[in-house]
Structure 1
């Protein structure tokens, strides 16, 4: 953690093999995505779920012991919405079940949409490209044999 979060900040949570994202709404709470299909814990990225549930949790509970930091990474290239609008939008989503796809509609897409009104995910691009190279590498190995 490099600074105390402020209302409207994006929170990046360092999970093994991926990053989970949340929106800080104040008083120690974040709004984030969790599995809607009964998967135990916060394992959306490794589950086969097609639905996510928007939840509000204490930041420390959402982190589940993992490291985290404030990361409003697009503030220099995209204007964030007002703090009031970010928090209002995040809280209005709580309890809703939404479509989920690890590459196209994940927790980072959700959090960046809430803050910037534009859904982006650098890790989805990274994992998509990595998966494509892994697939072609496997294919080339099969062709050579």
Structure 2
């Protein structure tokens, strides 16, 4: 009961206790870590092969990650989290039994890790929906393109303005 109370207090929204198969979004400084709840206070997530930990910037530099089963409280630490089944409005979740069986079968395995294509969000969406997705990566790509276009248009506008000033002289 104490563990459940702590979990509820650290949850950002009053979404109740997680149920097996729920996706857990953990808010780290500057990014989110993801895990899948498997029951009895445990989650399965991608951790690092180093002592850096999943919440370390060093984890981004790794090319592999270990599938770990740990207590939600340990993975969350002092950070905040929420239950967020982020694609339920677009995709039908796989049967809970399949999600849990596949997640448990991967515990202890070392998998490729790449911040753009094989990160913790890809891992947990693959388990829940059968397809790897990352809204963080998609958002970054859209933001990067928008910033790139803004930069290009800014340079073109400045060049055009300089050309007009040259013609006036």
TM-score (norm 1): 0.86
Given the alignment, which residue of 16, 32, 46 partners 2:45? Answer: 32
User: Aligned partners of 2:142, 2:53: CA distance in 1, in Å?
Assistant: 27
Deviating beyond 2 angstroms after TM superposition, the runs of 4 or more aligned structure 1 residues are 43-47, 127-137
**In the TM superposition, what whole-angstrom CA distance separates every residue of 1:96-116 from its partner, at most 9, and x where no partner exists?**
101111111110000000000
In the alignment, the residues of structure 1 paired with residue 120 and residue 19 of structure 2 have an alpha-carbon distance, to the nearest angstrom, of 19
Aligned counterparts, 1:34-113, within 5 A: 34-36=47-49, 38-43=50-55, 46=58, 47-113=60-126
- For 1:126 and 1:15, the matched residues in 2 are separated by 17
Residue 126 of structure 1 and its aligned partner are, at CA, apart by 1.7
Q: Which runs of 5+ in 1 are unaligned?
A: none
Query: What CA distance in whole angstroms lies between the structure 2 residues aligned with 1:122 and 1:50?
Result: 20
Between structures 1 and 2, the one with greater helix share: 2
SS in 1 for 2:43: strand
- Looking at structure 2, the residues matched to 44 and 107 of structure 1 have their Cα atoms a distance apart, in angstroms, of 13
| 1:118-129 map, 5 Å | 118-129=131-142
Distance 1:70 1:45 in 2: 23
Structure 2 stretches of 5 or more lacking a match?
1-10, 160-169
Higher relative CO (CA 8 A, sep ≥ 6), structure 1 or 2?
1
SS at match of 2:61: coil
Judge conservation of contact 1:35–1:43 (CA < 8 Å) in 2: no
Number of residue pairs matched? 141
